Structure 1
Amino acid sequence: MIHIRFIAADQSVQDIQAEPGQSLMKAAVDANVRGIEADCGGTLTCATCHVMVNAPWIDQLPPPVADERDMLDFAACPAQADSRLSCQIVLTPELDGLVVRLPAKQH
């Protein structure tokens, strides 16, 4: 199992456990993480699963593809250098302990 910590804009924390191989978005939705809307279900056609990935984790992820970078332009909160779409982050054992921050809004 992979441990993930979500930090909401109000600084509340939700810790979850997830299976390797699933997306961060799917793990968040399954655990009812408040702040991950995932309107498109992970098809990379919305930006409602926007997260900011804390260091050192951001360096362990593959770079975002062009479609992800483009979709982040439509995020409700402005994208930051560490912004990613959680539907595009595949959980691996190396990401155990991952910490992500949630934007103030997804819509």
Structure 2
Amino acid sequence: MDLYIIRRHGIWASDAELQATGEESIRVGEDMKDRLRWIRSYAVNEEDGRIGSVCIYEASDPDAIREHGRRIGAPSEDFQIVRGLTVQRPDPEPAPTS
């Protein structure tokens, strides 16, 4: 499997929507575990006030990324294969959401 970075732009209007998609992603990921594995995601504030994300997945091929995005209701056409990795520090604890 290759490692992918996926950028989802402004998919969610609220933290509740984001959480519901995350729960669906776990369920769908179990169905697709031979083709795809969710590693981590970062929720980001978009300029228009909506919520987007940057996600790290392992996947067997681009079609697995697209299928997963379609099945969870979060389109996944903005993605790239990871070329390399440099870790300076471990991820910090997430800031509390309001």
Normalising by structure 1, what TM-score?
A: 0.29
Larger radius of gyration: 2
Decide which structure has greater strand share: 2
Normalising by structure 2, what TM-score?
A: 0.31
Decide which structure has greater helix share: 2
